């Protein structure tokens, strides 16, 4: 198991190194200077002296390798740069907005588990029944419906027609717990819908495949109750492929947060990133991409380790 974990850690470090280089090169490959483009409104671009001074201030006059080493060293030491739009430290902006996005992720993940796993289990146990057809149709709808369209419908239904939930905005939990739950209910549901549908489909197919194995028939032939057969003999093997789906769903929710936070006017990392893209604020964009990539890598690393723990054959093949 130690060798398996070590190999996965090494792979994650290699991928993170590649992502770090690519993220840094984004600003270099864009036409012109990203920093100067973001400061176009505050710097006289026709004044060569002012432009040269700004380029020197941000190290843009240095060779690209020197810029990369300097940027990476500062990033690892906690200096993520300064936003060219607001003049605020990027790390401070990130730490202030990260709890908001984390709350959305946890809420969306909870929705996906609470809805997707039971729906998949019930569909498998009631195969080809009317309930199975209904749940399967709901899962397909959840996977296929665009997030922006679902968000618009829910805002109109619950925020305008019924007026029981706020259509946009965010209230911190520390200020008003009840209002906080109201403000995150719709966005977390929208984020979790796709993952719930995907989980339901995979749980159903995986559980059906497991229930058809010889050892399951043997357990039933011994006279074990159906609940015991499912809980003790079928559940663990059936959940192994589902772990991969959970990791992929987490990455999808990260991407969906950019759109959902913008639609619901939630001041999280997604909204900050969208604003930074419009403003060409490359220090913020680079820091966000690194943080998102690291988050996805850590989640997938955890999934791989759990996969190896649940299925020893994976450790042997590694």
DSSP per residue, the chain: -HHHHHHHHHHHHHHHHHHHHHHHHHHHHSSS-HHHHHTTTTS-TT-HHHHHHHHHHTTTTS-HHHHHHHHHHHHHTT---B-TTT--BHHHHHHHHHHHHHHHHHHHHHHHHHHHHHHHHHHHHTTTSHHHHHHHHHHHHHHHS-HHHHHHHHIIIIIIIS--S-SS----TTT-HHHHHHHHHHHHHHHHHHHHHHHHHHHHHHHHHHHTSHHHHHHHHTT--HHHIIIIIIHHHHHHHHHHHHHHHHHHHHHHHHHHHHHTT--SHHHHHHHHHHHT-HHHHHHHHHHHHHHHHHHHHHHHHHHHHH-HHHHHH-
User: How confident is the model at residue 19, as a pLDDT?
Assistant: 87
User: How confident is the model at residue 55, as a pLDDT?
Assistant: 64
**Who's near 248: CB < 8 A, 6+ residues apart?**
198
Which CATH fold would you assign to the domain 97-273?
A: MetI-like fold (1.10.3720)
pLDDT in tens, the chain (318 residues): 677 677 777 888 888 889 888 888 876 666 555 555 555 455 555 556 666 776 666 666 677 788 788 888 888 888 888 887 777 888 999 889 889 988 988 898 899 889 998 999 899 888 889 999 999 999 988 888 888 888 999 999 998 899 898 988 899 888 889 999 999 999 999 988 888 888 898 889 888 888 888 888 888 888 888 788 887 778 777 777 777 777 777 777 777 777 888 889 898 888 888 888 877 778 888 888 888 888 888 887 887 777 767 666 655 555
Q: How far apart are CA 72 and CA 283, in angstroms?
A: 12
For 42, counting Cβ atoms within 10 Å of its Cβ (0-12 exposed, 13-18 middle, 19+ buried), the class is: exposed
User: How confident is the model at residue 178, as a pLDDT?
Assistant: 92
Instruction: Look up the pTM and report it.
Output: 0.78
User: How confident is the model at residue 312, as a pLDDT?
Assistant: 64
User: How confident is the model at residue 148, as a pLDDT?
Assistant: 84
Q: Are 174 and 217 in contact (CB under 8 A)?
A: no
Number of residues written out for the chain: 318
User: How confident is the model at residue 135, as a pLDDT?
Assistant: 92
């Amino acid at each position: 198991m130690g060798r398996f974990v070590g190999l996965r850690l090494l792979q994650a470090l290699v991928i993170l190194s590649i992502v770090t280089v690519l993220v840094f090169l984004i600003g270099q490959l864009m036409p012109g200077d990203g920093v100067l483009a973001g400061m176009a409104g505050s710097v006289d671009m026709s004044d060569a002296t002012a432009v040269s001074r700004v380029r020197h201030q941000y190290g843009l006059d240095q060779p690209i390798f020197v810029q990369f080493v300097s940027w990476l060293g500062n990033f690892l030491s906690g200096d993520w740069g300064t936003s060219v739009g607001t003049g605020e430290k990027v790390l401070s902006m990130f730490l202030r907005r990260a709890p908001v996005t984390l709350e959305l992720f946890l809420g969306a993940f909870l929705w996906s588990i609470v809805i997707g796993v039971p729906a998949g289990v019930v569909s498998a146990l009631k195969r080809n029944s009317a309930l199975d057809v209904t749940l399967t149709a709901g899962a397909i709808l959840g996977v296929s419906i665009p997030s922006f369209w679902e968000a618009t419908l829910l805002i109109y239904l619950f925020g305008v027609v019924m007026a029981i939930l706020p259509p946009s905005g965010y209230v911190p939990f520390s200020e008003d717990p009840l209002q906080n739950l109201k403000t995150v209910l719709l966005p977390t549901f929208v984020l979790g819908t796709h993952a719930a549908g995907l989980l339901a489909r995979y749980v159903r197919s995986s559980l059906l495949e497991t229930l058809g194995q010889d050892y399951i028939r043997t357990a039933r032939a011994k006279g074990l109750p159906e609940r015991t057969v499912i809980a003790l003999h079928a559940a663990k093997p059936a959940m192994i492929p589902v772990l991969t789906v959970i990791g992929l769903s987490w990455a999808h929710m990260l991407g969906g947060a950019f759109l959902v936070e913008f639609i619901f006017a939630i001041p999280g990392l997604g909204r900050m990133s969208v604003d930074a893209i419009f403003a060409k604020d490359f220090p913020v964009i680079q820091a966000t991409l690194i943080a998102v990539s690291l988050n996805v890598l850590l989640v997938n690393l955890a999934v791989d380790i759990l996969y190896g723990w649940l299925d020893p054959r994976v450790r042997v093949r590694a």
